[in-house]
């Protein structure tokens, strides 16, 4: 796995962090959660931009948002009492399979 893909995976995980973090900023009125959320946003975008040096923009963006969407939904189900029904889980598995497919079929096995 290339360093670009590692950057992209970390960027996607940071996207989960800032997306959940926004909930705790209370409209960016709480300083510490706001600072942590903004820091995660900046780091996520920066790593995404580094990954896009070698990964096609469509692939990178789709993988980044896929990791973020799936991760946030999982966090919501595990820690925020969001629904855990089978249809929702199957849809998340579809997103995850799409992310894996993009990695495999984008020449991303380098």
Tell me the torsion sign for CA atoms 99, 63, 91, 41.
positive
Q: What is the mean pLDDT of the chain?
A: 93
Residue extents of the structural domains in the chain: 3-105
User: pTM higher than 0.85 for the full model?
Assistant: yes
pLDDT at position 107: 64
| pLDDT tens, position by position, 31-66 | 999 999 999 999 999 999 999 999 999 999 999 999
Q: What is d(CA 30, CA 35) in angstroms, rounded to the nearest whole number?
A: 9
């Amino acid at each position: 796995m290339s360093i670009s893909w590692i950057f992209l995976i970390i960027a996607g995980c940071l996207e989960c962090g800032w997306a959940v973090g926004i909930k705790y900023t209370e409209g960016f009125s709480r300083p510490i959660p706001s600072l942590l959320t903004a820091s995660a946003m900046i780091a996520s975008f920066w790593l995404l931009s580094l990954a896009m040096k070698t990964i096609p923009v469509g692939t990178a963006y789709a993988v980044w948002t896929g990791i973020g969407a799936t991760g946030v939904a999982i966090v919501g189900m595990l820690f925020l009492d969001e629904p855990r029904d089978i249809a929702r889980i199957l849809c998340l598995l579809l997103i995850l399979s799409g992310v894996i497919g993009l990695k495999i079929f984008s020449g991303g096995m380098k």
